């Protein structure tokens, strides 16, 4: 009976459905070519997908991955708001920022600092103290201590907050400070936090705190858009203390999840550099909450007592330039002795890949640390393909063993510069999502990050050699060949 009804339905409407799907396919290709203006390799992948797969499958794939043609309209106003906030900050608090890029401390990296300012108005500050964390327990303890000591305000911006014990501890601490009269604002990505119960932050909002979701779906709990996400992890207390890095809020980030021991990184900044983190939070809060906060109202109340220079580099789909990609390419090109990279997802752009290959061929010790097991299988197999490609150029690949997972996004070079932030080495972070990194010009921090990297290599990693990579099975090769198409599509 059921089969008969299906046959009847298809005989009646099948032709119409097929025509609609073909018209949709033509619309997808035309949109990608003439409106999104995707690069040729991305266009070819979509065309092949339309020819090789059922059109209904392509439709679903496009809904989740391809619909970014409205982003100029969505984020055009945001870009102008960003510029206004930046201009007002520099006009009122310009004395916090350095204009002399030849000052001691930058050395051969003067050109990097100058490029980051010219490209994305990443202001340089030089009165900072920095502290590096690479364990979830350390990170959460330090942040909760800062919340407890807050006097003026607490502003937080996170991609993902889990419904678990550590998130509830943060909720309780924030609610307590709100009851004490401290201004508390929390902006969360709507996709990353879609599993949170509707009333999860009721205790906080009842106490006077405020929350906002970035880029929410029109249908609650059903967010089709996985592009254009706010992937930042930022936290500012009282204007002069900030955290920036890659660690979300959840017990898995302290090693209590199914992937085992977890490596993640955050940087605590005390000094004028905190205003650059606060600027980013204010801009994103105003966009998400339809508010009009002024970042200069949240500036530090005193000069920092440190001597560390740093810049905060941000990128996203609201800008034509790819600031994070430019940062990574410039750091790789600038390296003279070594450059070490930690990333959970390694599907680099052609520009980043070329920079890594040239550096390795020039005698620079280039190393990439990545997982040996997937949290997202599709991206993992694409990452393995990318790793195999650069192995041929003597780049060394180290994989975290089966007992844990690496989620850190770290670049350190020449005992001189370290980058710690939210941006992975894939096209999603380099162009499609909102990301922020701190670029720190300090020998002490760089050596500390390098030492932590080398500790992980010795105690926690297995090197993937060219010989081992060649031994992979036919099934693994097939997975890589299919998954590597992820890069240009995204």
What is the b/e burial string over 238-257, where b = at least 16 CB atoms within 10 angstroms of the residue's CB? bbbbbbbbbbbbbbbbbbbb
More confident residue, 73 or 390: 390
Q: Is 383 helix (H, G, I), strand (E, B) or coil?
A: helix
Tens digit of each residue's pLDDT (9 = 90 or more) over 166-208: 999 999 999 999 999 999 999 999 999 999 999 999 999 999 9
Task: Provide DSSP, 220-271.
Answer: TT-----SS-B--EEEEETTTEEEEES--BSGGGGT-STT-EEE--EEEEES
- Told to judge if 118 belongs to the known catalytic residues of this protein, a careful annotator would answer no
Residue 83 clears pLDDT 90, i.e. is over it:
no
Residue 24 clears pLDDT 90, i.e. is over it:
no
CATH 3.30.870.10 in the chain is located at: 71-114+121-311, 323-489
- Told to judge if 414 belongs to the known catalytic residues of this protein, a careful annotator would answer yes
Tens digit of each residue's pLDDT (9 = 90 or more) over 106-132: 888 999 999 999 988 899 999 999 999
Superfamily of domain 71-114+121-311: Endonuclease Chain A (3.30.870.10)
Tens digit of each residue's pLDDT (9 = 90 or more) over 138-150: 999 999 999 999 9
Task: Give residue 164's pLDDT.
Answer: 97
Per-residue pLDDT averaged across 449-460, rounded? Answer: 96
**Cβ-count burial of 389 within 10 angstroms (0-12 exposed, 13-18 middle, 19+ buried)?**
middle
Catalytic option among 121, 330, 398, 407 = 407
Torsion angle of alpha carbons 9, 11, 17, 22, nearest 10°?
160
Instruction: Give the largest Cα separation in the chain, rounded.
Output: 82
Q: How far is CA 106 from the centre of its chain?
A: 26
- Told to judge if 238 belongs to the known catalytic residues of this protein, a careful annotator would answer yes
The conformation of residue 98, written as its DSSP 8-state character, comes to B
Task: Give residue 311's pLDDT.
Answer: 97
Q: How confident is the model at residue 303 (pLDDT cuts 50, 70, 90)?
A: confident
Q: Which tokens go with 72?
A: 């100029």
Task: Give residue 30's pLDDT.
Answer: 58
Q: How far is CA 234 from the centre of its chain?
A: 11
Q: Is 160 helix (H, G, I), strand (E, B) or coil?
A: coil
Contacts of 341 (CB under 8 A, 6+ apart): 366, 367, 368, 369, 410, 411, 425
Q: Which tokens go with 161?
A: 């907050």
What is the b/e burial string over 424-449, where b = at least 16 CB atoms within 10 angstroms of the residue's CB? bbbbbbbbbbbbbbbbbbbeebbebb
Hey, CA dihedral for 419, 190, 88, 177, is it positive or negative? Answer: negative
Whether 185 and 155 have beta carbons less than 8 Å apart is answered as: yes
Catalytic option among 38, 121, 409, 450 = 409
- Told to judge if 323 belongs to the known catalytic residues of this protein, a careful annotator would answer no
- Told to judge if 231 belongs to the known catalytic residues of this protein, a careful annotator would answer yes
Task: Give residue 69's pLDDT.
Answer: 47
Catalytic option among 284, 318, 414, 456 = 414
Catalytic option among 238, 284, 426, 456 = 238
Per-residue pLDDT averaged across 270-283, rounded? Answer: 96
Topology (CATH level 3) of domain 323-489: Endonuclease; Chain A (3.30.870)
Per-residue pLDDT averaged across 290-299, rounded? Answer: 93
- Told to judge if 471 belongs to the known catalytic residues of this protein, a careful annotator would answer no
Phi, psi of 178, deg, nearest 5: -65, -40
């Amino acid at each position: 009976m059921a089969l008969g009804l299906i046959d009847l339905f298809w005989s009646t409407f099948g032709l119409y459905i097929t025509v609609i799907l073909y018209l949709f396919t033509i619309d997808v290709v035309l949109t990608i070519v003439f409106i999104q203006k995707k690069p040729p390799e991305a266009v070819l992948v979509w065309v092949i997908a339309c020819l090789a797969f059922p059109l209904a499958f392509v439709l679903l794939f496009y809904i989740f991955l391809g619909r970014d043609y409205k982003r100029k309209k969505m984020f055009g106003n945001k870009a102008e708001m960003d510029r206004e906030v930046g201009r007002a900050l520099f006009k009122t608090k310009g004395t916090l920022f350095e204009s002399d890029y030849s000052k001691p401390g930058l050395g051969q990296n003067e050109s990097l600092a100058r490029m980051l300012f010219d490209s994305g108005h990443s202001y340089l500050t030089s009165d900072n103290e920095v502290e590096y964390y690479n364990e979830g327990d350390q990170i959460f303890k330090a942040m909760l201590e800062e919340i407890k000591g807050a006097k003026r305000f607490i502003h937080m911006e996170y991609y993902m907050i889990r419904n678990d014990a550590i998130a509830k501890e943060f909720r309780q601490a924030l609610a307590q400070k709100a009851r004490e009269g401290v201004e508390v604002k929390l902006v969360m990505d709507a996709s990353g936090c879609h599993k949170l119960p509707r009333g999860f932050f009721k205790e906080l909002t009842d106490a006077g705190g405020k929350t906002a979701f970035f880029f929410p779906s029109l249908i609650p709990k059903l967010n089709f858009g996985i592009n254009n996400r706010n992937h930042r992890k930022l936290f500012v207390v009282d204007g002069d203390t900030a955290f920036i890095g890659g660690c979300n809020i959840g017990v898995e980030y302290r090693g209590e999840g199914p992937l085992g021991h977890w490596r993640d990184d955050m940087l605590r900044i005390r000094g004028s550099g905190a205003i650059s983190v606060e600027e980013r939070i204010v801009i994103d809060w105003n966009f998400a909450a339809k508010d009009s906060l002024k970042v200069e109202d949240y500036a530090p109340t005193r000069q920092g007592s440190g001597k560390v220079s740093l810049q905060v580099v941000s990128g996203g789909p609201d800008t034509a330039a790819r600031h994070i990609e430019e940062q990574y390419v410039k750091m790789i090109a600038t390296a003279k002795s070594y450059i070490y990279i930690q990333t959970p997802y390694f599907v680099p752009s052609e520009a980043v890949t070329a920079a890594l290959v040239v550096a390795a061929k020039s005698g620079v010790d280039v190393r990439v640390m990545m997982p040996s097991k997937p949290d997202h299988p599709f991206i993992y197999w694409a990452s393995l393909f990318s790793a195999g490609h650069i192995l041929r150029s003597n780049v060394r690949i180290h994989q975290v063993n089966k007992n844990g997972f690496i989620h850190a996004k770290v670049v350190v070079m020449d005992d001189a510069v370290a980058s710690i932030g939210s941006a992975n080495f894939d096209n999603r972070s380099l162009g499609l999502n909102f990301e922020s990194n701190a670029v720190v010009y300090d020998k002490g921090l760089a050596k500390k990050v390098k030492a932590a990297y080398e500790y992980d290599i010795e105690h926690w990693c297995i090197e993937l050699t060219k010989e081992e990579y060649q031994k992979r099975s036919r099934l693994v090769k097939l997975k890589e060949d299919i998954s590597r198409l992820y890069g240009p599509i995204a």
